[in-house]
Structure 1
Amino acid sequence: MKRYIINLMLAVAATACLTSCNDFLKEDPSSQIKEDEAYKNETELYLNAVAALYNNVGGHNDSEGLQGTARGVYDLNEFTTDEAILPTRGADWYDGGLWQNLFRHSWGTGTDCIGDTWKYLFKSIIMCNSALEHIDAYAKAHGQSDNTAYWRYEARALRAMFYFYAIDLYGRLPLYSTSHPTVAQMQLQERSTVYKHIVGELQDCAAHLTGERSNWQGKYYGRINAATCYFLLAKLMLNAEVYSDDDWTDGVRPSGSNIYFNIDGRQLNAWQATEHYCDLIAGMGYRLEDDYTANFAVHNEKSRENIFVIPMDKYLYQNQFKYLFRSRHYNHAAALGLNGENGSSATVEAMKTFGYGTDTADARLAMSYYCDQVRDLNGRLVTLDDGTPLKYYPMAVKLDLSGDPHEKTAGARMKKYEVDPTGTKDGNQSDNDIVLFRYADVLLMRAEAMVRNGENGDEYLAMVRRRVGESPRHATLATLLDERMLELSWEGWRRNDLIRFGEFARAYTHHTPLPDEANGWSTCFPLPGDFLAITGCKQNPGY
C-alpha cells in the first residue's frame, strides 16, 4: 500500500511554521529541519510543504484527524445523534460524563474535545497557509512551474476541506490567509461569508485538480482531487439552507430554492447545484460496488465506489482506526486475536430503523452490526469467561447501564469494516482504508436534492437499495433520512443529516431535548474559551 506522500519525519518543517502571537496557535518547533534543507528543490518542497498536510487528514492522537481517532470530528458527529451511543458500563466509559453529555447535548462550554477539535482544524488550516507561503517563496526564487502551480490548488483545496468541517461544527469562523494571523485577522466571520468563501475556493480548485482516482494506489493515492472537490461542493449545496443562515436560533432558514449559484454561466438554485456536482462525479466513472462490503474490506484500495479515503497501512503510517477497537466486547476482540474496549453501540433508534427483530430487517443490518451471538473468524461461538456464549442485546442499550443485567453486553456493536486479523496496536492499526466520501452518498444526495426541488428522486434511491437486495421505496424526505442511516451508519454523517432535516433536537429513546433546544442553538458547538479570550469575540448563541 505504498503511497507517494506522507512522511511524518518530513512534516516537521511544515508544523514548525505554526508559531503565532498566542499559545492557541503555537507548535513546538523542536526537531525542525533547517529551512534551506526542507525546501531546497521541488521534491523537498512537495514533501515538506504539501505532503505533510495529509498527516492531518488521519491521525493517531485524540481529537486529531477527520476519522479514525477518538474525541474529535467523528465523535462529535456520531455520539450526539440517534445513531450511536457510548453508554456508561459501571466503572467503564463514564469519563467525567463526556459521553453522556454528548448524547444529551449537554456539553456547555467546558467539553475539552470540542475545543481540542477546533484547535486541530485550525492547526490544519494554518499548515495549509504555511504550505502556500513556502510554495510562493519557492516559485518567486526559482520561477513558477507546473508542479508549484498544481500544489497551490492542492493546498487550497485541502484548506477548504478543513473549513468545511469547521463551518459544519462551529458556524462562525475566522478566515485565515496567513500562517501568522494577527488578532485582528482572527475575528469571526458570519457563517454565510465563510460558506461563500469555501464554495468559491473549491470551485476554483476543482477546475485545476486531477481527475485521477484518489482512492486507488498510484501517484494521487490519498490526495485531494477534482472528485473530492465536487463531493464537498455537493455537500455544501445540499446544506445551503444551514450554512447560509447567520442566525440559526430564530427558527427560520433561507429557502434552498431561492439560494442561487453561478455555475458555468448558469444560475442554479441550491438543489440544482447539488444535482450538478453529483452528476459530475458520476461522469468521472464512479459507481456502486456490486458487493457493499467491498468498500470496507481489509484491502479496499480498488473500490470503484470510494472517492476519498484515509490510507491505512500498519507498517507505513501512524494513522489509527479506533472504531472497531472501541466497540467490541473484550472477549469478542480476544477471540479475533485483537483487543477491545467494550464501548460504543448502536442506539435503539438505529435498530428500529434497520428493522432488528423483524422479518423485514434491512440486509445492511448484518453488514453493519454485531447483534445477538457472535463468532470468531473460524466460525466458533465467542464465549464469556464462564463459558456461556457471548450475546449482544441491541434493544437493552441505554445511556447508563451500571448495575444492569446487560451492563457489559447491551447494544449492537460496530461491524462495518472487515476485521484485519494482522492488526497492530491492539487492532487500532489495520489495513482497511478509512472511507470518508463514497458514491452511494452521491446518489442519496442527488435523490434528496430532487425531492427538495419538487422532482422525483426514486431512481437514485432505488439504485442504492437494489445493490443490497432491498426493494424500491418512494423517495420522500422521511424515507431518505432513514436510508441515509441504513446506508451510511458509522460513517460520520448523522449529525449533519439530522440538522439539515430539522431533526437534531427531537426526542428519542434516552434523549430528551434541552430547554429551548428547538430554536437551533445546539446545532453549532461552542467556541473555545481561549480563542474568545484572545480575540474578544462573542460566544455562539445558547452558551
Structure 2
Amino acid sequence: MKKTLLSILTAIALTGTYSCTNLAENVLDEASVSGLSNQQLADGNIAPVYALLPNIFLHTNYFAIQEISTDEAILPYRGGTDWGDNGIYLALHQHTTTSTDPNLLSTWNNLVQSLSRSVSAINALPTLNDASAKVYLAEARGMRAYYNMLLLDLFGIVFVKEDPQSTSTILRGEAAYNYVLSEMLAVEPNLLTTVGPGRLSKGAAWGLLARMYLNAAVYRNRTATSFTFQSTDMDNVISYCDKIINSGQYQLASDYFTIFNQDNHNNKELIFAVDQRAELNGNNRLPYFSLSGNQFPIPAYPAANGTDGPAITPDFYQSWAQAYSPKDPTVDPRFYRQNLSIYSNPGDSCVAESNFNINRGILRGQQYGLLRVNGAFLKCPNGNYKVGKLFNVTRNLPTVPVNFTEQVDFTVAGSNYSTGYRVEKYEFSKKSTSGRNLGDADISIIRLADVYLMRAEAKLRKSNDAASALADVNTVRAARTFPTTTPALTSMSLDLLFRERGFELYWEMVRRTDMIRFGKYEGTWTEKTNTDVRKRLFPIPQTAIDGASNIPGYLTQNEGY
C-alpha cells in the first residue's frame, strides 16, 4: 500500500514556473514513512497546504498587486536607481502591467503550487485512520477553494482538479464563482471552531463566504458598467457576518496596533491569518517595505534598515485630512501611534534598548530614530541608545533630512528617497536573529472589524439601511479607545463606507478588490489615468500560457492583454 504525502513540481516547475497541467506526485512507500503514526502522517499532509501562504503574502507579491495598483500606495523609482525593476511598479500603479511581470508570475506560481498541494492532501487524507484526517480533509478542500478564490479575484479563472494525475478544468465567470462558493459551503460543516487564526476554521469559512457573496456581482460580470448586487447575496453576507459576530469567539481590539504586533497570534480580532510565528520561520518584509533606508527598528541589528519602498498617495492621505479637518487625522488612533517620545519631548534622546520602538501607522514629516555612525549605533553615557534627527546617510546624502512629504509621484523630485508619507503598520520581530528574518506578526486575511464593515455594506446595498450600517461602523470605531477613542460618525453612505474601509483596513491587501466593487478602480489618482475596465483583471503570466501550450486553447490570455 502506498500513501501520497506531498505533490512535487512538474517538469516545467524545475525551470521556475508551474502549470496546472500534468501534475506529478511524489509517492512514498511504507518503508519511507516507517515509524510514523497516522496522526503524524495526517499532519504531514496538511502542513504543505498552508506552507506557501507567507510567500503569497510577500510584500512584492500579493501586497504589491492589491495595494500598489490602487489609490492607496505608490512606489516610484527611488533616487533614480532603487525600485526601478524595469518599471514594473510604475506599470502596476498605472494599470499598464504586462504578462511578463515577475511579481504576477511569482504570485501565480505560489497559488497554483498551493492548489497542487491541496489536491494531493485531499487524495491522501482519506486513506489515514486518524480522527484528525476528516477535519484536515475539510481544511485542505477549503484551502483549495481559497486559493482558487484568489485566482478568481486576480486573474478571473479557477482550476477544478480532483485527481492529481488528471488535467485541471478551467472555469471563468459565473461558473468559476459558483464552483468556489459550492466548495466552501461543502466543507464548512466539518471545520472546527477551536483552531487558531492560522488554520481554516468555521469562522474563517464564514468570513470567506461573506466576502464571496459581497463580491458576487463583480465575479459574475467583471466588466459591467455598474454591478448588480442581488438581494439574496446581501442576505447571505449579513447571515455569515451574524454567525461570526454572534459566536462570541472574536473581539474588537481596544488598541488598534496590537492587531499587528509581533505577538498577535492570539489577538481575538483575528479570524483568519497567515501564521508567521517565529517558531514557524515566518519571514515577511511588510514592516521594512515602506520605511526609510535610514530607519533602524531594532537596536541589536545596525544593518537592518528600511528599503524606501512604497508610500501612501497624496490622494489617500487627503481622504484622512479632509475627513477630520480642521483637526489633524491623529484624532483617529488608527492613523498614527507615537512610540518615540522625542517627538513630544526633545529631552528624551536616550532610550534603553528594551524601551525602543519606532512609531507606527502613517509617518509624516521629520523622522527620528537610532543614529548610526561607522556601522554602529551611538550610545549615551549611561549606555542607552542615542535617538535624534535622521538624515539620508545611507543614501550618501548626509545633509538631507529624512523628512517625509505628502508629495510623491513619478517625477524626479517626487521620486526622491524621502517623498511620500510612509506606513509602519506591522511590528518588527524582536525575535529576529538578523534583524530581517522571522517576521512573526501574523498577517490578517479576515478580522472582526472587516466583518462589521462587510455587514454594513450589505445592509446599504440591500435596502439602504443607513442607520444599521452606521451602527456597525460606529461599533468598530467605538472599540478603538487607546490612546483616545475614535470619533463616531453621524451619517452613512456607500462613499463614506468606502472611505471607512480605507481608514480601518489600509495596507491589508483589500484595497484593489474594494475599489473594483465600489466602482472606483477606473478613477484618476496620482500618476494614474487609465480607465480600461479590462484592467480589473491582471494578465495571466505568459510563461504559464506557454507551459500549457501542449494543449491548444487550454489557457488563454485575459482580454485586453
TM-score, scaled to structure 1: 0.83
Q: Which residue of 2 aligns with 1:264?
A: none
SS of corresponding position for 2:158:
coil
Deviates more, 1:300-309 or 1:528-537: 528-537
* 2:335 corresponds to 1:365: yes
* 2:543 corresponds to 1:527: no
Task: Please report how far the alpha carbon of residue 398 of structure 1 lies from its aligned counterpart in structure 2 after TM superposition.
Answer: 0.9
Q: Which residue of 2 aligns with 1:265?
A: none
User: Is the Cα contact below 8 Å between 1:420 and 1:431 reproduced in 2?
Assistant: yes
Task: Please report how far the alpha carbon of residue 289 of structure 1 lies from its aligned counterpart in structure 2 after TM superposition.
Answer: 0.9
User: Is the Cα contact below 8 Å between 1:393 and 1:412 reproduced in 2?
Assistant: yes
Gapped regions of structure 1 (runs ≥ 5): 1-11, 60-64, 216-221, 259-268
Deviates more, 1:327-336 or 1:226-235: 327-336
Aligned partner of 1:364: which letter?
Answer: R
Matches within 5 A, 1:235-250: 235-245=211-221, 248-250=222-224
User: Is the Cα contact below 8 Å between 2:22 and 2:165 reproduced in 1?
Assistant: no
Q: Which residue of 2 aligns with 1:219?
A: none
CA deviations over 1:310-335 (Å, ceiling 9, x no partner): 22233x23331112212111111267
Separation in 1 of the partners of 2:107 and 2:272? 21
Select which of 182, 190, 194 maps to 2:172: 190
Q: Which residue of 2 aligns with 1:480?
A: 497
Structure of higher CA gyration radius: 2
Matches within 5 A, 1:300-379: 300-314=264-278, 316-333=279-296, 336=299, 337=301, 338-355=304-321, 359-361=327-329, 362-367=332-337, 368-376=361-369
Relative to structure 1, is the Cα distance of residues 28 and 327 closer, same or farther in structure 2, using a 3 angstrom cutoff?
Answer: farther
Q: Which residue of 1 aligns with 2:68?
A: 79
Q: Which residue of 1 aligns with 2:428?
A: 419
Separation in 2 of the partners of 1:177 and 1:28? 11
Task: Please report how far the alpha carbon of residue 71 of structure 1 lies from its aligned counterpart in structure 2 after TM superposition.
Answer: 2.9
Task: Please report how far the alpha carbon of residue 28 of structure 1 lies from its aligned counterpart in structure 2 after TM superposition.
Answer: 11
CA deviations over 1:242-286 (Å, ceiling 9, x no partner): 1122xx335354x2225xxxxxxxxxx111110100011112221
Relative to structure 1, is the Cα distance of residues 252 and 478 closer, same or farther in structure 2, using a 3 angstrom cutoff?
Answer: closer
Q: Which residue of 2 aligns with 1:381?
A: 388
Deviates more, 1:374-383 or 1:69-78: 374-383
CA deviations over 1:203-233 (Å, ceiling 9, x no partner): 2211111111413xxxxxx211101100100
Separation in 2 of the partners of 1:28 and 1:172? 18
Deviates more, 1:154-163 or 1:530-539: 530-539
SS of corresponding position for 1:279:
helix
Q: Which residue of 2 aligns with 1:214?
A: 196
Separation in 2 of the partners of 1:343 and 1:51? 32
Relative to structure 1, is the Cα distance of residues 296 and 540 closer, same or farther in structure 2, using a 3 angstrom cutoff?
Answer: same
Separation in 1 of the partners of 2:44 and 2:180? 25
Separation in 2 of the partners of 1:196 and 1:209? 20
Separation in 2 of the partners of 1:539 and 1:349? 32
Task: Please report how far the alpha carbon of residue 94 of structure 1 lies from its aligned counterpart in structure 2 after TM superposition.
Answer: 0.6
User: Is the Cα contact below 8 Å between 2:9 and 2:18 reproduced in 1?
Assistant: no
Relative to structure 1, is the Cα distance of residues 392 and 358 closer, same or farther in structure 2, using a 3 angstrom cutoff?
Answer: farther
Relative to structure 1, is the Cα distance of residues 30 and 125 closer, same or farther in structure 2, using a 3 angstrom cutoff?
Answer: closer
SS of corresponding position for 2:154:
helix
Q: Which residue of 1 aligns with 2:242?
A: 279
Q: Which residue of 2 aligns with 1:261?
A: none
Q: Which residue of 1 aligns with 2:47?
A: 51
Select which of 91, 101, 115 maps to 1:125: 115
Select which of 489, 507, 510 maps to 2:527: 510
* 2:438 corresponds to 1:429: yes
Aligned alpha-carbon RMSD (Å): 2.8
Separation in 2 of the partners of 1:347 and 1:81? 9
Select which of 171, 192, 203 maps to 1:227: 203
Task: Please report how far the alpha carbon of residue 379 of structure 1 lies from its aligned counterpart in structure 2 after TM superposition.
Answer: 8.5
Task: Please report how far the alpha carbon of residue 85 of structure 1 lies from its aligned counterpart in structure 2 after TM superposition.
Answer: 1.0
* 2:451 corresponds to 1:438: no
User: Is the Cα contact below 8 Å between 1:440 and 1:464 reproduced in 2?
Assistant: yes
Aligned partner of 1:249: which letter?
Answer: T
Separation in 2 of the partners of 1:31 and 1:321? 29
Task: Please report how far the alpha carbon of residue 115 of structure 1 lies from its aligned counterpart in structure 2 after TM superposition.
Answer: 2.7
User: Is the Cα contact below 8 Å between 2:226 and 2:519 reproduced in 1?
Assistant: no
Separation in 2 of the partners of 1:181 and 1:427? 41
Matches within 5 A, 1:248-287: 248-251=222-225, 253=227, 255-257=228-230, 269-285=232-248, 286-287=250-251
SS of corresponding position for 2:446:
strand
Gapped regions of structure 2 (runs ≥ 5): 338-360, 371-384, 481-485
Separation in 2 of the partners of 1:278 and 1:482? 20
Matches within 5 A, 1:196-207: 196-207=178-189
Relative to structure 1, is the Cα distance of residues 250 and 498 closer, same or farther in structure 2, using a 3 angstrom cutoff?
Answer: closer
* 2:478 corresponds to 1:466: yes
Task: Please report how far the alpha carbon of residue 509 of structure 1 lies from its aligned counterpart in structure 2 after TM superposition.
Answer: 1.9
Separation in 1 of the partners of 2:285 and 2:272? 19
Q: Which residue of 2 aligns with 1:539?
A: 557
Q: Percent identical across equivalent pairs?
A: 25
SS of corresponding position for 2:306:
coil
Relative to structure 1, is the Cα distance of residues 17 and 85 closer, same or farther in structure 2, using a 3 angstrom cutoff?
Answer: closer
Q: Which residue of 1 aligns with 2:483?
A: none
Relative to structure 1, is the Cα distance of residues 325 and 23 closer, same or farther in structure 2, using a 3 angstrom cutoff?
Answer: closer
Relative to structure 1, is the Cα distance of residues 405 and 194 closer, same or farther in structure 2, using a 3 angstrom cutoff?
Answer: closer
Relative to structure 1, is the Cα distance of residues 23 and 489 closer, same or farther in structure 2, using a 3 angstrom cutoff?
Answer: closer
Deviates more, 1:227-236 or 1:531-540: 531-540
* 2:23 corresponds to 1:16: no
Task: Please report how far the alpha carbon of residue 358 of structure 1 lies from its aligned counterpart in structure 2 after TM superposition.
Answer: 5.2
Separation in 1 of the partners of 2:10 and 2:247? 37
User: Is the Cα contact below 8 Å between 2:116 and 2:164 reproduced in 1?
Assistant: yes
CA deviations over 1:491-512 (Å, ceiling 9, x no partner): 0000010000111111112211
Aligned partner of 1:135: which letter?
Answer: L
Aligned partner of 1:164: which letter?
Answer: M
Aligned partner of 1:427: which letter?
Answer: R
Deviates more, 1:27-36 or 1:46-55: 27-36
Aligned partner of 2:45: which letter?
Answer: A
Aligned partner of 1:158: which letter?
Answer: M
Separation in 1 of the partners of 2:504 and 2:243? 22
Task: Please report how far the alpha carbon of residue 237 of structure 1 lies from its aligned counterpart in structure 2 after TM superposition.
Answer: 0.8
SS of corresponding position for 1:414:
strand
User: Is the Cα contact below 8 Å between 1:328 and 1:413 reproduced in 2?
Assistant: yes
Task: Please report how far the alpha carbon of residue 347 of structure 1 lies from its aligned counterpart in structure 2 after TM superposition.
Answer: 1.0
CA deviations over 1:167-213 (Å, ceiling 9, x no partner): 1101123322222332xx34x31221121111111122111111114
* 2:153 corresponds to 1:168: yes
User: Is the Cα contact below 8 Å between 1:18 and 1:180 reproduced in 2?
Assistant: no
CA deviations over 1:410-465 (Å, ceiling 9, x no partner): 11112112333443444242332222211010011011110101222110011122
Separation in 1 of the partners of 2:148 and 2:545? 19
CA deviations over 1:87-110 (Å, ceiling 9, x no partner): 111111111001001001101222
TM-score, scaled to structure 2: 0.81
